[in-house]
Structure 1
Amino acid sequence: MNIWMQLEQAEVGQTRSLAAVLDAIPWNSDGLVAAIAQQHDTGEVLMLAWMNRTALEETLATNRVCYWSRSRQQLWRKGETSGHRQSLIEARLDCDGDAILLRIEQQGPACHTGRANCFYNSIQSDQIVVISAPQ
């Protein structure tokens, strides 16, 4: 039985080795997994990014969120240049390990556009409506 099935059937409080779970994550062909950043106290979804194993391990070790930048092909320590850092409060994996939820404390706007979050393009009928301004 794979580790995801074991976790599905586990009782509350049961544990598994972090290393074993990281080994079992179904990283995509580029070695990445989707990571959703959510403000821990409000539940607001701030952004979606990608993590490789190194970025995830660094995030867990430092409690400062680190992603993999697909455009720059390098680690991206959120806020390193802008100051808009993300502090990790809790990390969760979904039921089959192909997405990570990062419950974070966001400092400043999360989006590179200066908006509070990256989800400012609302699909309304046959139009896209911009629903927030840069801060």
Structure 2
Amino acid sequence: MEEGDEKLFKQFERWGELKVRADVAIKKYPEHAHTSALRWLRGIDEARERAAADIAAEQLEIARSAKDAAWAAAKEAERASSAAERASSAAERQAAAAERADTKALIAIIIAIVSAATAIASIIVPHYWK
């Protein structure tokens, strides 16, 4: 920064970027002030570019983090799906075992009924056939 630029820069700050750009476009300032205005505007542009680059880098980092989180969630969902499939298979096996147990219980009840009927018949029939 050259001598006198600081005062000009403060004046440019007061006027604002749009007015200074418009004045530079119509070459309103004397040579030294015009050069200072261009330097001041270049500083604003560079600061804006740095800020945009910082924002872009931050957005890229956020996107990477989101991608990593999505992959982790997908892997967890895959593990949960596999566990659900195993649980479903176990439930199917338990249902089949329960059906077999029901069938065996029904057979046992029928056998018990037949045995009871046989026992009753063995008690009653001899009394009537004498």
The answer to whether the superposition gives a TM-score over 0.5 is: no
TM-score by length of 1: 0.19
Which entry has the higher C-alpha Rg, 1 or 2?
2
Structure number having the greater helix percentage: 2
Larger % of strand: which? 1
Instruction: Give me the TM-score of the superposition, normalised by structure 2.
Output: 0.20
Higher relative contact order (CA 8 A, sep 6+): 1
